[in-house]
Amino acid sequence: MIGMCEGRVCVVTGAGRGIGREHALALGSRGAQVVVNDVGAGVDGIGDDSTPADEVVEAIIAGGGQAIANHDDIATWDGAESLIRSAVETFGRLDVVVNNAGILRDRKIVSMTENDWDSVIAVHLKGTFCVTRHAAVYWKGEVDEGRVNDARVINTTSSSGLFGNPGQANYGAAKAGIASFTVIAAMELARYGVTVNAISPGALTRMTDGLQLDDEMKRRWDPALVSPAVCWLASVSSGDVTGQVIESSGIALGVFEGWHRGPRGEAVSTAEEVDAVLRPLLAEARPPQSIR
Ligand X SMILES: NC(=O)c1ccc[n+]([C@@H]2O[C@H](COP(=O)([O-])OP(=O)(O)OC[C@H]3O[C@@H](n4cnc5c(N)ncnc54)[C@H](O)[C@@H]3O)[C@@H](O)[C@H]2O)c1
CA distance 164 to 159: 7
Residue 20 in the binding site for ligand X (CB under 6 A): yes
Nearer of residues 13 and 242 to ligand X, judged by Cβ: 13
Active-site residue flag, 138:
no
CA dihedral 85, 25, 150, 253 (to 10 degrees): -130
DSSP state of 105: -
Residue 248 in the binding site for ligand X (CB under 6 A): no
Which residues, in sequence order, are CB contacts of 20 under 8 Å at separation 6+?
A: 12, 13, 14, 38, 98, 100, 101
The continuous run of DSSP H or E covering 247 comes out as strand 245-249
Residue 291 in the binding site for ligand X (CB under 6 A): no
Residues 68-107 within binding reach of ligand X (CB under 6 A): 73-75, 100-103
Residue 203 in the binding site for ligand X (CB under 6 A): yes
In the set 171, 181, 192, 221, the catalytic residue is 171
CA distance 265 to 281: 7
Which residues, in sequence order, are CB contacts of 140 under 8 Å at separation 6+?
A: 192
Q: How distant is the alpha carbon of residue 5 from its chain centre? A: 19
What percent helix, strand, coil does the chain show, rounded to 5? 45, 15, 40
CA distance 251 to 264: 36
In the complex, residue closest to ligand X by CB: 18
Residue 170 in the binding site for ligand X (CB under 6 A): no
Applying CB under 6 A, the span of 13-21, 132-140, 231-239, 255-263 interacting with ligand X comes to: 13-21
Nearer of residues 8 and 17 to ligand X, judged by Cβ: 17
Residue 43 in the binding site for ligand X (CB under 6 A): yes
| Residue from the set 12, 41, 97, 185 that interacts with ligand X by CB under 6 A | 41
Residue 31 in the binding site for ligand X (CB under 6 A): no
**Count of CB atoms situated within 10 Å of the CB of 276:** 10
DSSP state of 146: T
Residue 24 in the binding site for ligand X (CB under 6 A): no
228 and 252 in contact (C-beta within 8 Å)?
A: no
| Residue from the set 10, 14, 168, 230 that interacts with ligand X by CB under 6 A | 14
Residue 25 in the binding site for ligand X (CB under 6 A): no
Residue 40 in the binding site for ligand X (CB under 6 A): yes
| Residue from the set 4, 10, 18, 250 that interacts with ligand X by CB under 6 A | 18
CA distance 172 to 160: 5
| Residue from the set 16, 28, 65, 172 that interacts with ligand X by CB under 6 A | 16
Nearer of residues 65 and 202 to ligand X, judged by Cβ: 202
Site residues (CB under 6 A) for ligand X?
13-14, 16-20, 37-41, 43, 45, 52, 73-75, 100-103, 123, 127, 156, 158, 201-203, 205-208
Residues marked active site are found at: 171
